[in-house]
Chains A and B, each alone.
Chain A
Amino acid sequence: MTDAVAAFEQGLERCAAEYPAAFERAEGEHALRAANARFAGPSGELTLLMKRMPELPGDRRRDLGQRANKLKNEIQEAFNARLSGLAARAREQELSGPHLDVSLPGRGTPAGRLHPLTRVKHELLDVFQAMGFDIADGPEVDLYEHNFDRLGFPPDHPATDMQDTFFVRLSDEEKAAAKSKRPIVLRTHTSTVQVREMMRRKPPLAVVSAGATFRRDDDATHSPMFMQIEGFMVDEGVSFANLKGVLTHFLGRVFGPEVPVRFRPSYFPFVEPGGEVDIGCMICRRWDPKVKADACRVCKNTGFVEILGCGMIHPVVFEHVGYDPERYTGFAFGMGVDRIAMSRYGVPHLNMLYGNDPRFLTQL
C-alpha cells in the first residue's frame, strides 16, 4: 500500500518539479498547450495520476487528493499566466515589430469614374434640384419647329445663323412611311425641352434639363456635339430680379460665393430682356484683390468669362405654347457643360473630353 502512496507522492512531486520549467521552455502557444497537455491533458501525467487515486489507501486518499487538486490548480494557473504572458509578448512584438507593407496596392476592383461632363452635369443639376426645379428630358433629334419656330426664331432670320444646324432625314423607306414632311434637326440647344415641357404641362413650372446638343462647328473651341444645361421657370409675377436671384445663387454654389457675377444684355430670340452672365475668371482670378494676376489667355485679361445665356421668356414663346403672356412671366437660361468641365478639371484640349482615352478618364 505504501508503494502506491510513495509512487503517487513521487508522481506529484515530479509534476510539481517539472511543469514550471516545461512551461517556461514553451515559446509559443502551441508548445505551451503541448506542455500543458503533458501534465494536465486527458492523458497527461497528473491526469493519469489522479485516475489512480482509488488505489490509494483510504486514510491517505483525502490529503493526497487535496494535494493533487491543488497541484492541478497551480498548473492551470501557471498555464493561464504563461499563456497570457506569451500573448502579451507576441502582441508586444507585433506592435514593436516591422510595419505592414502599406505600399502594396489595394485588393479588389478599383472604382471607376463618371465622365467629367457627367459629374459636372450632376453637380449643376443638383443645385437646381435643391432649389425646387424638376429635371426633364427631351429627344436629341427633334422637329425644326421645336428647335426654332416655337422659340420665336423669325423665319429667314440671321438669328438662326447663331446656331448652324444639322438637318436630318430618315432613310428612304422610313421617309416613305412617315406621313408628314416637317423638317427634322439635331437639336442645337436644349431649349427644345423648354418648348416641349411647356406644351405638355401648365404653370407653375421650374424645370431644368441637360443633354447632348449639336451644331456644325468643329475647331479648337467647338465640338460638333456638346453638352448643355437649360432651365426655366414660369409662374405669375416672375421677374428679371428672380432670374438674377436664381442664377446668382446657382453660380455661388457652383463656383464659390466669392466669385463675382456680372449680368449684361445680349440677344437670343426666345428671351427678352436677354442677357449673358459672366463670372470672374477662375484661371487668373484678377478680380480678387489678393491675387497678382499675370496675362491670361482665358479671359484675355478682362477678368471675366462668359458662362451662360439667359433672359425673360419671350411672350411669343408663351403664345406658341398656349400660355397667356399677360398672366405668366418666366425666365430661362442655358449654359455649356463642356467649358465648365474643362475649367473645373483643367482639361487642356476640348478633344480630350470626347476622346475617351482611359488614361484621361482615370486622371480625374
Chain B
Amino acid sequence: MLVSHAWLQELTGLSLDVDDVAKKLTSAGIEVEAIHRFGEGLDKVVVAEVKASNPHPSRDKLKLVTVFDGAAEHEIVCGAPNVPAPGRRVVLAQLGAKLPNGVEIAERALGGVKSLGMLCGETELGVGADDSGLLIIDEELHGAALPGAPIADALGLRDRVYELSLTPNRPDCLGHVGVARELCALLGKTFALPKPAATPRAQSGAWAEPSEQLFPLSLPGTPAQGAPLAKTFRVDITAPDRCPRYGAALVDGVTIKPSPFAVRYRLHVLGQRAINNVVDVTNLVLLLWGHPIHGFDADHVRGSRIEVRLARAGERMKTLDDVERALTADDLLICDGEGPVALAGVMGGAGSQIEPSTTRVLIECAYFEPRTVRRTSKRLGMHTDSSHRFERGVDPSAVRHVLADAAARIAALGGGVVRADALDVVGKAVAAAPIALRKERIALVLGMPIADTEIERILGALGCVVAPAHAGYSVTPPLHRPDLTREIDLIEELGRLTGYDRLPTVRPAIRASEEGTPARITLVRRLREAAASAGLCEAVNYAFLAPADLERARAKPTAVVIQNPMTEARCVMRTSLLPGLGQCLREAQNTQQKTFALFEVARVFGPPQKDQAITELPHESHQLALLLWGQRPSWYREDESYDFYDAKSVVQSIVQSLSGHVPSTVVDAALLEEEPALHPKRSARITLGDSAIGVLGELHPDVVSAMELSGRPVFASIDVARLETALLALGRPKAHALPRFPSATRDVAVVVAEDIPAGDVVAALLEAAGPNAERVALFDIYGGDPVPAGHKSLALHVVYRGHSATLTDKEVDAAHAAAQKAAEARFSASLRGRTEKPK
C-alpha cells in the first residue's frame, strides 16, 4: 500500500514530519518499508507562458516556440504536437536543468536553430505517464503557476510516498482515511472523517434499517434533478449472506475526459495510471477510503436492474480483461436484467464498463462477505486491488459516505448531475458485538496495568465506543476494524498503541517439565557431532527431488508426492539420502575437487505405517548417510583413494563415540535386493549387537554411471531408530578391572584361500588359543610370490595373558601351537615361516 504524505496532511489537518510518521507507523505495526520522494530534481524547471509559435525554417515536425519565463522571452525548438495557443502555460526546463530521467539541458541547435531550453511532457518530468506531448498547465492553476515559478511549487509536486507493508488483519489501512485515523491515534490527535458535505451519513457502526433504503443524496454544487433513482433502477440481493449490503448512485450527463492534473498526479505518485475522469475517481475513492467501488455505464445495464446472486453451475462471463471465466455456484455475481455484469468484488464485466461515450454512470458501493471474494479470487487466480480489500474486510458502514463522495467527485470532474436519491439495500445487518474488557486481564497479558484514561483514549481514537462495565469496560469496536472481535484483540491494541518498548521486560521462572527432551533428539544431535568428529562435513539437502533422481540411485519409489511443486525437479519427497549426496559429489567432481567426505542426517519419507498416531501421514525416519570418494587425506604422500574400509572406520568411530559399542559389517545375501544401489561384492550390512542398523558399500558401477559420477564412491547409511533400539538392547558398556599380569605375544602367518574372511581366521585363532588368549590382531596381508595363486598370507599377533599369574613361555607356546594347529585344520591353511616371538 502506497500512502501520500500530502494526502495524510490534508486528511489530518496536521503538519507532519516524514521520518516521524514513518517511525510512529512502524512502531505501531504499520511497517513503512520505504519512502519515495516526488517533486525533486526539478531545479531550473519553471512555468513558462507561450507567447508565439512559428514553424521551424527547415523541419516540418518542429516548431519555434517563444515563451516567457518570468524574466525574459526565449525561443525554444519543440517537437511536441500539442503546442498550445499563446497565453497558455507550459513547463520549461531552462539551460542547466537536469531532469529526473537524467537528461541535462544544454544549449543546442536543432535543424540549425538554437534552442534555449526544452518544453517538457509528463514522462520527462516524472509526474505522469502521458508521453503524447507537452504538459499544459490547467488554466485553473494559473493563479499559482505564474511564469518563472518553480514547477514543483507551482503544481504542488512535492510529496513523499510511504510504502507500507501491511499485515492481513489491517484492511482499514488499505485506504488513506484508515492510515490518517491510525496516525491521529498514535499522535494523540482527534481525527474526523472527511465530509462529502451535506450528505446524511449512516452512523459509524450502525446500519440503515431496510425502510431507510432510499436516502437523499443531495450534494453541494450539483443540484439534484431527474427522477428518483429507485424508480429507475431496482436492486435485488438474492444472496444476502454473501452480499449483506449494496449501494448504488447514478450520475447523469457526464462527459468522459482526462482528469485535472492534480488528480492525475496524485494517482501517479500512488502508482496508478490515470485513465479518464470517471475511472480516476473510482481509483481515487478506493485509495482514499480503502473501499472499492465500481462504475458501470448505466446505459449498458440492461433492464435497469441489478441483481446480486450466486452464479449458476456452468455459467460463464467475460471480465474486463477480456478473459472468458467459467464460474461455479460459489461465485457471487452482479447481474443486470439479462446476465452477469461483474464478478462481485473482484472485477467488472466486459460490456458495461465506462467508455469514452459514457454519459450516465451507475456507481456501485457494496459490502461483500470476505470469504466469498477470497474463494472466487483464489480459484480464478484474479488478485485485484478490489479483491485484496474485500477479502480482508471493508467497512460495511462506509457504504453511504463512500457512495456520496464518489458521486460528488464524478459530478465535479465530469460535469454531471447526481440523482436526488440513491439506493442502499441492506440484505443482512452486520453489527459489531460489544466486547467485555477486564482491566485485570490487561495487566496479566501485558505485564503491566494501563491507566483508565489511556484505555479510553486509545480505544476511542481507534473508533471504539467505550463504556464502563463490571471489572472494566464494554467496548464496541468500529466496523472498519473487523479484526477486533475478542478481548485479546483490544488488549493487543492497548499494548500496540502504548508501544511494546514501554512494556516491562521480565524473565520468567521456568518450571522444569516432567518429560524433558526426548532421547531421540539428543541422539540425532550426537550423531551429527560424531560424524563431524570422524572427519566428515555435513550436507543439508532439499527434502524434495525428482522421481528420476530416486530411480537413478535405485532408491525406493516415493509414496509422497507434492501436488503443487515449483519445479518438476523437486516434486516428490526423498526416500533415500543417496540422491542428494550423489548430486553434491557430482558437482564436486565437475569442479575438479579431488576429495569428498560428506554426511547428512535427515529424514526420508515412506508410506504410512500401521502404528502411527495419525494414519494418513507418511512415515518419516531419520537416517545418517555418508558418501566418501577420492583422495584420502594422508601425510605429504601420494594420496590413496577412499575405500570400503575408510567408510567402515568412520561408521565404527561414529557409533563407538556415542555408545562405546562397535558395529560390525557382515555379508548378507538379502542385501543385494534390499540395497541395489550398492556393489554386490563390495558391500555389507552394518550390525550392532544382534540388530541390523544400516548398510555400507561401494556404489554399484551401474549406479555410478547412472548418477553421472566417476570413480568408486563409498556410501553408508544408518537408520537412527534402529540404532537407538540396538543401543538400548546393548545397554551401556561395562568397565573391567585392568590386567595385573604381563602379556606375551606370539605371531603367526597363515596362508589361506582368498575367499576366507580374515575375521573368520581371527575368530578361529582366538577360540583355539584357549582361555588365556586375550586378542588376535591382523598386522599384514600379503598375496603373490611365494604365496600360491588364489591364496593370501595373513600375519597375526596373538596376545596371551594369564588371569591369575604370569604365563610361562612353555604355557604360551603350548597354547599357540594349539591355535596354529586348529587354524591349519579349519582353513586348510599352511603356516608360512616359523612361529616366533616378536622381538
Contact = CB atoms under 8 A, between A and B. Distances in A.
B500 A356 contact: no
Contacts of B541: 354, 356
Interface in A107-122: 107, 109-115, 117-118, 122
B371 A139 contact: no
Contacts of B789: none
Interface string A134-170: 1111011111000000000001111101100011111
Contacts of A312: 445, 488
Contact of B543 (A170, A225, A273): A225
A205 interface: yes
B616 interface: yes
B598 A241 contact: no
Nearest to A128: B510
Interface stretch (A9-17, A23-31, A79-87, A180-188): A180-188
A256 B560 CA distance: 43
Interface string B321-365: 000000000000000000000000000000000000000000000
B510 A273 contact: no
A312 B489 CA distance: 11
B587 A355 contact: yes
A241 B503 contact: yes
Interface stretch (A32-40, A54-62, A91-99, A263-271): A263-271
Contact of B538 (A115, A182, A224): A115
A168 B517 contact: no
Given A110-B535, A161-B168, A357-B584, A142 B29 contact: no
Choose among B31, B563, B570, B587 the residue with the greatest number of A CB atoms under 10 Å from its CB. B563
Contacts of B529: 114
B500 A265 contact: yes
A44 to B, nearest CB: 26
B27 A264 contact: yes
B480 interface: no
Contacts of A273: 445-446, 488, 491-492, 495-496, 500
A196 to B, nearest CB: 9
Contact of A112 (B27, B534, B560, B593): B534
A96 B500 CA distance: 69
Interface stretch (B192-200, B243-251, B600-608): B600-608
A105 B34 CA distance: 53
Nearest to B646: A109
A184 B559 CA distance: 13
Interface stretch (B79-87, B275-283, B518-526): B518-526
Interface string B559-574: 1111111100010010
Contacts of B528: 114, 118
B705 to A, nearest CB: 22
A329 B563 CA distance: 37
A233 B26 contact: no
Contact of A240 (B503, B562, B616): B503
A324 B573 CA distance: 38
Interface string B484-498: 001011011001100
A171 B559 CA distance: 5
A357 B559 contact: no
Contacts of B391: 156, 158
B525 A224 contact: no
A70 B500 CA distance: 98
A230 interface: no
Interface stretch (A245-253, A279-287, A288-296, A342-350): A245-253
A185 to B, nearest CB: 9
B29 A265 contact: yes
B341 to A, nearest CB: 25
B536 interface: yes
A201 interface: yes
A244 interface: yes
A314 B615 CA distance: 28
B280 to A, nearest CB: 27
Given A137-B521, A174-B559, A357 B500 contact: no
Choose among B510, B563, B602 the residue with the greatest number of A CB atoms under 10 Å from its CB. B510
Nearest to B534: A112
Interface in A324-364: 329, 353-359, 361-362
Contact of B617 (A141, A167, A171, A218): A141
B597 A112 contact: yes
Contacts of A265: 27-29, 492, 495-496, 500
Nearest to B634: A107
A113 B532 contact: yes
B507 interface: yes
B598 A358 contact: yes
Choose among A105, A179, A182, A267 the residue with the greatest number of B CB atoms under 10 Å from its CB. A267
A178 interface: yes
Interface string B579-596: 000001001100101011
Interface of B: 26-29, 31, 34, 167-170, 370-371, 374-375, 378, 388, 391-392, 444-448, 486, 488-489, 491-492, 495-496, 500-501, 503-508, 510-513, 515-518, 520-521, 525, 528-529, 531-544, 557-566, 570, 573, 584, 587-588, 591, 593, 595-599, 602-603, 605, 607-608, 614-618, 620, 633, 635-636
6 contacts: A118-B528, A137-B521, A159-B168, A265-B500, A355-B587, A357-B588
Given A184-B616, A240-B500, 8 more contacts: A109-B633, A111-B533, A113-B538, A137-B518, A156-B378, A171-B558, A239-B445, A265-B27
Q: Closest 3 A-B residue pairs measured CB to CB?
A: A241-B447, A265-B29, A267-B167
